[in-house]
Structure 1
Amino acid sequence: MGSFDLDLGAVEREISDEEGGSGEVVLGVLDGETGSAEWQRLVRDGAVLVLSVDGDLNDLASGFARDIRDMGGHLVHFRGFLIVTPPGVLIDTDRLD
Structure 2
Amino acid sequence: MGNFELDLGAVEREISDDEAASGEIVLGILDGETGAAEWQRLVRNGAVLVLSVDGELRELAAGFARDVRDMGGHLVHFRGFLIVSPPGVLIDTDRLD
TM-score band by shorter chain is 0.7 to 0.9
Runs of 4+ in 1 over 4 A off after TM superposition: none
- Identity across matched positions, percent: 84
The match for 2:29 is: 29
The match for 1:44 is: 44
- Aligned to 1:91, the other structure's residue is in SS state coil
> Matched residues in 1 for 2:25 and 2:76: separation?
15
Paired residues in the alignment total: 82
Please report how far the alpha carbon of residue 21 of structure 1 lies from its aligned counterpart in structure 2 after TM superposition: 2.4
The match for 2:96 is: 96
Gaps of 5+ in 2: 1-14
The match for 2:79 is: 79
Gaps of 5+ in 1: 1-14
Superposition CA RMSD, Å:
1.5
> Matched residues in 2 for 1:63 and 1:54: separation?
15
The match for 2:10 is: none
> Matched residues in 2 for 1:26 and 1:52: separation?
11
> Matched residues in 1 for 2:20 and 2:45: separation?
7
